[in-house]
Amino acid sequence: MVNGDSANVPRYRRSRGPTTRLRVSPIESGDRAREVLERISIRGDDGRVESVCDRTRSVTLAFASVDASSRAMGRLEALDCGLRCSWTERAVAAGERDVAERTMARRRAEDLAIPGLTLIENFVSVDEERALVTLARESGEETRLARRRVKHFGYAFDYGTRDANERCEAIPSLALEILKRLRSDMIGYQSAIRCDQVTVNEYPRGTGLAPHVDTHSAFGETILSLTLEGCAVMEFRTSAEENRALFLPRRSMLVLSADARYRWQHYIPHRKFDNVEGETIARDDVRLSYTFRERRSGPCMCAFPMQCDSRDGAESKCSKRRAGKTQEFPELVGE
Ligand SMILES: O=C(O)CCC(=O)C(=O)O
Ligand SMILES: [Fe+2]
């Protein structure tokens, strides 16, 4: 969903390619807008219209996905009721122009060509999203980092050593239930997904996450991240030159395994607007994520010894970590 600063009402213009927003015109009255909505509403969560914006002679409908807006457009055209519809995108305002220069985020994980990177859209329903957000707000012990708030379940994550050994409040059963729906055909490999540690991050608009690889020695081969309440762009890099970006819509599940988990750093740039396939998307007021991990019992046997703290030199890497001499999680410096 696209939100703007309330003081700065976003403007939209016709888009050349498909987007999540459909402008329908001519609409003479609010009644007519309601009628349109009823006629093109689609069953299923992603078909739901997320927001409606009335203009004098048109109405703009925001859908959860481009696929849903395309299906709605198809239905409206089939009705042949004299209404025209077109896709719209947020017009870039002065001050946001540099967004276009940023790494363009893709909507499909396959387009990043990073082995082991999977994005499953609409992994949870709107009702489950609401329940998980309430659970995260009402349970667990909160830690305030420089710019975001975190809660841990199962085991507390230690930002000094970057592993998790101390037991804490149990993982909410709803969260574990939801994980069970991950099937091997969704993620391309067979091993069962187990999880005994959950971190909930709450990012206010404009806040991101520093580049890091989740500690090899501390966590297992699959890291999962569920995006709730607001979208974000996650970037992946192996060096300053090799940098790719993926749009994470609400209710999507990101799966990091193989190279995506062990070799590529992931991070969320601190910013309010992202370039998503050429469209400027404003981040929502808050994004809440559940990160699911399994604590590792033996040494890490990954194929990336350069990135692995579980191999040669592990002791010196660990002592640097303990002393806080690390580029990872720099938002903690001084806390
Ligand atoms: O917020 C997210 O989706 C990712 C969080 C993350 O990477 C982490 O906690 O290690
Ligand atoms: Fe991470």
**pLDDT tens digits for range 68-78:** 888 888 888 88
Residue 161 predicted with pLDDT over 70: yes
Residue 331 pLDDT level (bands cut at 50, 70, 90): very low
Residue 328 pLDDT level (bands cut at 50, 70, 90): very low
Q: Domains in the chain, start-ordered, CATH in brackets?
A: 12-91 (3.30.70.330), 101-332 (2.60.120.590)
Nearest-5° angle of CA 88, CA 90, CA 92? 135
Q: Cβ(19) to ligand 1 under 6 A?
A: no
Residue 24 pLDDT level (bands cut at 50, 70, 90): confident
pLDDT computed for residue 6 by the predictor: 41
Q: Is 32 exposed, middle or buried (0-12, 13-18, 19+ CB in 10 A)?
A: middle
| 313 φψ region: left (φ > 0), alpha (ψ -120 to 50), beta (else) | left
Task: Label residues 221-240 b or e (16+ Cβ within 10 Å = b).
Answer: bbbbbbbbbbbbbbbbbeee
Task: Say if residues 30 and 65 touch (Cβ distance below 8 Å).
Answer: no
Higher-pLDDT residue of 286, 146: 286
Q: Cβ(225) to ligand 1 under 6 A?
A: yes
- If you average pLDDT over residues 40-69, what whole number do you get? 68
Which of 133, 158, 209 for a ligand 1 pocket mutation test, highest count of atoms within 8 Å of Cβ? 209
Task: Say if residues 65 and 122 touch (Cβ distance below 8 Å).
Answer: yes
Asked if the interface predicted TM-score (ipTM) of this complex is over 0.95, the answer is yes
Q: Cβ(291) to ligand 1 under 6 A?
A: yes
> Three-class SS of residue 303?
coil
Residue 244 predicted with pLDDT over 90: yes
- If you average pLDDT over residues 183-199, what whole number do you get? 79
| CA separation for the pair 105, 124 (Å, rounded) | 22
